[in-house]
Structure 1
Amino acid sequence: MIFAIEEINNSTELLPGIKLGYQIYDSCASVLMASHISFQMLNGQDAAFYKSRNCSQSGEMMAVVGDSGSTTSISISRIIGSFNIPLVSYFATCSCLSDKQQFPTFFRTIPSDQFQADALAKLVKHFGWTWIGAVHSDTDYGNYGMASFLAAAQREGICVEYSESFYRTDPHRKIQRVADVIRRSTARIIVAFMESGDLTVLLEELAQEPPQPRQWIGSEDWITDPQLMAYSFCAGAIGFAIQQSVIPGLREFLLDLSPSEAAASSVFTEFWEDAFNCSLAERVESDKRVCDGTEDMETLNSPYTDTSQIRITNMVYKAVYAIAHAIHNAVCQETNFTTQCEKDVSINYKQFLSVMKKINISKNGYPVSFDANGDPVAFYELVNWQKSESGVIELVTVGYYDASLPKGQEFQIKRKITWMDGGTQVPVSVCSESCPPGTHKVLQKGKPICCYDCIPCPEGEISNTTDSPDCFPCPSESWPNAQRDACFPKPVEFLSYDEVLAIILAAFSVSGACLAIITAAIFFHHRTTPIVRANNSELSFLLLFSLTLCFLCSLTFIGAPSDWSCMLRHTAFGITFVLCISCVLGKTVVVLMAFKATLPGSNAMKWFGPPQQRMTVVFVTFIQVLICTVWLLLSPPFPMKNLSTYKEKIILECALGSAVGFWAVLGYIGLLAVFCFVLAVLARKLPDNFNEAKLITFSMLIFCAVWLTFIPAYVSSPGKFTVAVEIFAILASSFGLILCIFAPKCFIILFQPEKNSKKYLMNKN
């Protein structure tokens, strides 16, 4: 501060002709002392230990530079703020001081802890740490700073295992308890929002029994403190520091200190005697020699003479220049390329305060300005404690944080970071390992959100990101893979000609059709024989034709369903089977009428001759055609994707359209079959060697049994097996008819021709 004031007083551009004076007070980091000094300054008491010779006694206090602590700055600002006197702090970072309603006259050249808290949270998030510990000073600096950090951490999804606070003067058992919490914790990252003095006490306690390696994350107050770097178990610490600066001429000014000047000031006396281990007083203590004047500041190696790591010092420098420029703007005017300043003008504090708010200058390349809250633009260096080749911990700048940059670009890392234990890999600190794709997070009861279990996604759902909070279902026509991290189209299933089952059914279908054709050929070749003529050859040929169609219609059930195949398969099946049953029914009635015709005085056959038989078949079949036509017109069968039977695949099948139409078709077939069966049972014992009634009875018994078992099998069969059951029922009933009715006759025609005679036919024995 003294260096800056002397620079200003020697300047011809800033406040020409006006000298600035100063008084320096020591608040001793005590609120009581700070309050006492505040009243002392307001009362105008002269308690300076060093004062410029050229400073007039009538000087007016325009502003206060300080204090270094947030708590003491709060008390000072509350007192002097009542008189509208600005307080410009160089090291008080508590975010509470940005409240202009409480502290309208407070300014600072160091960024608010709100910016640092946000930067620390972004730093933790950047390296993927979600499980951390936190310690802070039990002061306004530590409490407000940690509160801001915890709020920012929560927004970033970071969990805090513990948050402990203490003050350096607390009982030892409390400090020991905090150290034990750190030792027992599972979090490997410790964010310390502390003042150097408090952290020194904690590290002393931890040094008694060093914990497992921990990665320390530091606030600007202690991360640049060279004395703390002596604790080797903190090597690798990273944190945000005030920007390193250069002040030209400062080192020369510091070295220009003589023994006489040191003796004139109590502060410099203490410094001089400690630096050179001698005494400036006449009476010398037993362990110290008398300073003889040969002490050379050039040879001194101490933090006092080291201006290579200037950080907070520059904040003081900027604070003094901010006040000087405000005074300049208030009392000086530019006229004809010259500056005229009024020395004796009395400045109104309210006006001076408004001038301070508008300050926007640059000194040595560093901007000096204040926002609406009295805060400067936040800029931090990211520093890292790295061990040199000699084993000494050094402070290395590895990046920066600039709050003025666009969101997401504020944080930059430029150099490689050395981590705890000298490692090069970023340490891991999580409560629970990341959940891989295919699983989702389920919070553990009573624990923070960062502690969770990884549960596999339920059936039909996936998660394709790491640490997914939820699983989401696949689209209706998709299904998860085995890992449940992606959806794939469901396989489409239908009874295809490529399958063994379909090939077997198709083979039986073609074989049945060929069998019917061969039977028809045999009957046609022997159409003049008694056994063919006695069994109503016209209906027999029509029955064989309908059986051929029945066998072939089962082929329409194989293959991918389409609009035409769905309508064809059901209607063709219904009509051909009715045609088939109507032929059997006609043959049965013929047998009954033929028996009645042999009775004396009966002329029944004239009422059921060939024309009537044809009309019966046509009429019975027409009714089924009518039912099918109505079904197709109102609500025909159509192809559909069945997504409900199987979750993991799609069944391509024919929907019935109208269930009433389908069951009407089946019901009509069943009604004819039952009626035919009853008639066949009545005629089964009629005396005739070529009586078909017995054969028809067996065939209809098989037919009815097949279709009675078909109904529950059809309803309960899943997917493509529904179609297979329907084909099996068609083939089984068709084979039952052709084998029961025509196989015995073909056997006689081919292998027992002697029975295929009129004599055998007429034999009643």
Structure 2
Amino acid sequence: MSLFNTRHFCDMPSPRFLRHFLAFDFAVSEINRNADILPNVTLGYDMFDSCFFEDTAVEGSLRILSGGVKMYPNYDCHGYGKVVAFIGHLLSSSSQAIASLLRVYGYPQLTRYVKRVHFRTTSGDEIFFDEKGDPPERIDLLNWLIFPNDTVKRTQVGQYHSQQLFLNKSTVIWGNLSDMTPRSVCSEDCIPGYRKSLVKGKPVCCFVCAPCSEGEITNTTDTETCIICPEEEWPNEKKDRCVKRVTLFLNIQDPLGTLLLASTGVFFIMTTVVLAIFIKHRDTPIVRANNIHVSFILIISLMFSFLCVLLFIGRPTVLSCLLRQVVFCLIFTLAISSTLAKTIIVLVAFTSTKPGGISKNWMGSSLSRLIIFICCLGQVLICSVWLLQSPPFPDKDTRSEVGKIILQCNEGSTTAFYAALGYMGFLAVSSFILAFLVRKLPDCFNEAHYITFSMLVFCSVWVTFIPVYLRTKGKYTVAVEVFAILASSAGLLFCLFIPKCFTIIIRPERNSRESVSDRKLH
């Protein structure tokens, strides 16, 4: 028997393949030892090392067939036994080369060397192979170690039994003599908050860790896809869990909300003081000369315009959203209509002094009330259609600011909203044009100067408001509108009434019939 043939290209067979020879030798010894397996038959074998060369494998096969030291093709020089079969190489290429030779001589090449075998080893283990040559379901898992001094250690680390794998990882020693399991990937694990992204042109075990997109998380390691957070939630900083979004709205507790609320209070108190002054001095010439009825309507409308700011500050509700824009539009329309009425009254008062002019009967409170009623009626119609067709409602904005929910009022119909603003702008521009045209009237009717300047301030505020309103987002959109309401209302208050109050309180000598006019407007 020749165990190794080392005369070819190999200097020495590799020790790491010794286990295959030991397993084979053990199997042959066990079969020969048990007479029940192959009665009256003793197995033997010749084994050659091919060194992983196909030609060497064929050479070894010829030597086995010849049976001598030298190769004698077609001659059998065996002095013992008989060759009945060959077992192939570990490599399929060498096995195919051997099979090509064996087909010529009619010898079989085995891949599974026993079938229908059932025996018990000396250690008591039951070994059997079924009719297909399949091994038993129970397989011992061995850990083989080859040390630098060529010594070998074998340790059982688990079993495969009943289609289940049992492995004791703590007993496994790897090739680097470490108990740490080597990684089978070329990339580090992707921690929560990241996802695995395959690299084009590389194996699936090679990947990069890509951060989850905005609004997505991963909460496990090596996840291939990210999870989208619910609408009410947002990823935390590490993107490994969803947290509740921060809710934003123009709050009274915010510095901006506090400032606007304080400004509202100051302007409301100032308007109340102006109203008290006008009531106390209602019989004086300077108050009566400015059409006392229209003045009171205008002052009261300004008071309510400051109060309507309270509808814009705080958490939006169904009621506040319904009333917010509608109340603002109606109150401001009343204020602008009153200013327009004062302008028309000034014009009527001047033309009534000319021959053929308008009758003095039209200069009383009836004309001013009619003008205010007609102007307000147009805004009432616009707001009624607005509320019936597409009214404002509370809404949530989750896109303007990252990780935040902005509570706001949706105007419903933007067309109706801008129609209401446009109607107010039309009245303001009309009042400004009329006041500008009559600004050169005699000094006794110099109210036109104040109206012209107040409408200029009013129009400037709202012309600036619209583009700023469209560019801002979140609670600052509401803050811009509140600022426009306060600024335009304050402009009317300061331009139309503060100069009169200054004259009444500080310069009372000018509050006389001679200083104002000998004509009184009723």
TM-score range relative to shorter protein: 0.7 to 0.9
Displacement after TM superposition at 1:523 (Å): 0.7
Q: Is the 8 A contact 1:566 1:638 kept in 2?
A: yes
Displacement after TM superposition at 1:562 (Å): 1.8
Which residue type is aligned with residue 642 of structure 1? D
Q: Which moved more, 1:661-670 or 1:393-402?
A: 393-402
Q: Is the 8 A contact 2:212 2:239 kept in 1?
A: yes
Which residue type is aligned with residue 539 of structure 1? V
Which residue type is aligned with residue 137 of structure 2? V
Give per-residue Cα distances to partners, 1:78-126, cap 9 Å, x unaligned.
879x99x9x9xxxx7xxxx47xxxxxx963879xxxxxxxxxxxxxxxx
C-alpha distance in 2, partners of 1:647/1:2? Answer: 76
The reply to whether residue 32 of structure 1 matches residue 62 of structure 2 is: yes
Give per-residue Cα distances to partners, 1:349-379, cap 9 Å, x unaligned.
xxxxxxxxxxxxxxx3414131646444361
Aligned counterpart in structure 1 of residue 41 of structure 2, from 2, 18, 22? 22
Partner of 1:492: 247
Q: Specify the SS of the correspondent of 1:385.
A: strand
Partner of 1:590: 345
Aligned counterpart in structure 2 of residue 516 of structure 1, from 271, 281, 293? 271
Give per-residue Cα distances to partners, 1:685-711, cap 9 Å, x unaligned.
211346311111110110011111111
C-alpha distance in 2, partners of 1:481/1:512? Answer: 43
The reply to whether residue 703 of structure 1 matches residue 458 of structure 2 is: yes
Q: Is the 8 A contact 1:531 1:690 kept in 2?
A: no
C-alpha distance in 2, partners of 1:663/1:600? Answer: 44
Q: For residues 469-548 of structure 1, what are the structure 2 equivalents within 5 Å?
A: 469-548=224-303
Give per-residue Cα distances to partners, 1:33-80, cap 9 Å, x unaligned.
56679xxxxxxx996748xxxxxxxxxx9x979758667798599879
Partner of 1:368: 128
Which residue type is aligned with residue 405 of structure 1? Q
C-alpha distance in 1, partners of 2:202/2:443? Answer: 93
Q: Is the 8 A contact 2:116 2:133 kept in 1?
A: no
The reply to whether residue 404 of structure 1 matches residue 162 of structure 2 is: yes
C-alpha distance in 2, partners of 1:4/1:536? Answer: 129
Q: Specify the SS of the correspondent of 2:171.
A: coil
Q: Which moved more, 1:620-629 or 1:729-738?
A: 620-629
Which residue type is aligned with residue 145 of structure 2? W
Aligned counterpart in structure 2 of residue 383 of structure 1, from 143, 152, 169? 143
Displacement after TM superposition at 1:601 (Å): 4.7
Q: Please, what TM-score do these two structures have when normalized by structure 1?
A: 0.55
Q: Is the 8 A contact 1:109 1:375 kept in 2?
A: no
Q: Is the 8 A contact 1:34 1:72 kept in 2?
A: no
Displacement after TM superposition at 1:579 (Å): 0.5
Displacement after TM superposition at 1:563 (Å): 1.7
C-alpha distance in 2, partners of 1:415/1:709? Answer: 75
Aligned counterpart in structure 2 of residue 683 of structure 1, from 424, 438, 442? 438
Distance 1:397 1:682, change over 3 A: same
Distance 1:621 1:3, change over 3 A: closer
Partner of 1:107: 115
Distance 1:413 1:643, change over 3 A: same
Which residue type is aligned with residue 563 of structure 1? V
Q: For residues 569-648 of structure 1, what are the structure 2 equivalents within 5 Å?
A: 569-648=324-403
Q: Specify the SS of the correspondent of 2:204.
A: coil
Which residue type is aligned with residue 334 of structure 2? L
The reply to whether residue 552 of structure 1 matches residue 307 of structure 2 is: yes
Partner of 2:18: none
Partner of 1:247: 122
Give per-residue Cα distances to partners, 1:714-764, cap 9 Å, x unaligned.
111122111111111111000000111000111111111111111222379
C-alpha distance in 1, partners of 2:408/2:287? Answer: 43
Distance 1:550 1:36, change over 3 A: farther
Q: For residues 79-94 of structure 1, what are the structure 2 equivalents within 5 Å?
A: none
Displacement after TM superposition at 1:560 (Å): 1.6
C-alpha distance in 2, partners of 1:483/1:553? Answer: 44
Q: Is the 8 A contact 1:706 1:732 kept in 2?
A: yes
Aligned counterpart in structure 2 of residue 670 of structure 1, from 412, 416, 425? 425
C-alpha distance in 1, partners of 2:102/2:367? Answer: 122
Q: Is the 8 A contact 1:553 1:569 kept in 2?
A: yes
Distance 1:743 1:5, change over 3 A: closer
Q: Specify the SS of the correspondent of 1:399.
A: strand
Q: Specify the SS of the correspondent of 1:559.
A: coil
Q: Is the 8 A contact 2:196 2:223 kept in 1?
A: yes
Q: Specify the SS of the correspondent of 2:396.
A: strand
Which residue type is aligned with residue 404 of structure 1? S
Aligned counterpart in structure 2 of residue 655 of structure 1, from 410, 425, 446? 410
C-alpha distance in 2, partners of 1:674/1:554? Answer: 24
Partner of 1:732: 487
CA RMSD for the aligned pairs?
A: 3.8
Distance 1:378 1:67, change over 3 A: farther
Distance 1:497 1:429, change over 3 A: same
Which residue type is aligned with residue 656 of structure 1? E
Which residue type is aligned with residue 247 of structure 1? T
Q: Is the 8 A contact 1:23 1:47 kept in 2?
A: no
Displacement after TM superposition at 1:476 (Å): 4.0
Q: Specify the SS of the correspondent of 1:382.
A: strand
C-alpha distance in 1, partners of 2:272/2:131? Answer: 103
Q: For residues 200-599 of structure 1, what are the structure 2 equivalents within 5 Å?
A: 247=122, 364-370=124-130, 372=132, 374-377=134-137, 379-385=139-145, 395-402=153-160, 404-406=162-164, 410-413=165-168, 416-420=171-175, 422-427=177-182, 430-444=185-199, 446-599=201-354
Q: Specify the SS of the correspondent of 2:250.
A: coil
The reply to whether residue 716 of structure 1 matches residue 476 of structure 2 is: no
Distance 1:31 1:605, change over 3 A: farther
C-alpha distance in 1, partners of 2:317/2:200? Answer: 54
Instruction: In structure 2, list runs of 5 or more residues that go unmatched.
Output: 1-27, 49-59, 68-75
Q: Is the 8 A contact 2:32 2:43 kept in 1?
A: no
C-alpha distance in 1, partners of 2:302/2:377? Answer: 18
C-alpha distance in 1, partners of 2:138/2:85? Answer: 20
Partner of 2:19: none
Give per-residue Cα distances to partners, 1:396-417, cap 9 Å, x unaligned.
42422315324xxx14117533
Which residue type is aligned with residue 376 of structure 2? T
C-alpha distance in 1, partners of 2:154/2:229? Answer: 51
Distance 1:378 1:6, change over 3 A: closer
Distance 1:33 1:741, change over 3 A: same
Give per-residue Cα distances to partners, 1:415-471, cap 9 Å, x unaligned.
533445544444556523223333344445543333344343444443333334444
Aligned length: 468
Q: Please, what TM-score do these two structures have when normalized by structure 2?
A: 0.78
Q: Specify the SS of the correspondent of 1:667.
A: helix
Which residue type is aligned with residue 397 of structure 1? T
Which residue type is aligned with residue 39 of structure 2? L
Q: Specify the SS of the correspondent of 1:107.
A: coil
Q: Is the 8 A contact 2:143 2:155 kept in 1?
A: yes
Displacement after TM superposition at 1:578 (Å): 0.5
Distance 1:371 1:681, change over 3 A: farther
C-alpha distance in 2, partners of 1:424/1:696? Answer: 92
Give per-residue Cα distances to partners, 1:202-230, cap 9 Å, x unaligned.
xxxxxxxxxxxxxxxxxxxxxxxxxxxxx
Q: Is the 8 A contact 1:23 1:49 kept in 2?
A: no
Distance 1:7 1:723, change over 3 A: closer
Which residue type is aligned with residue 433 of structure 1? E
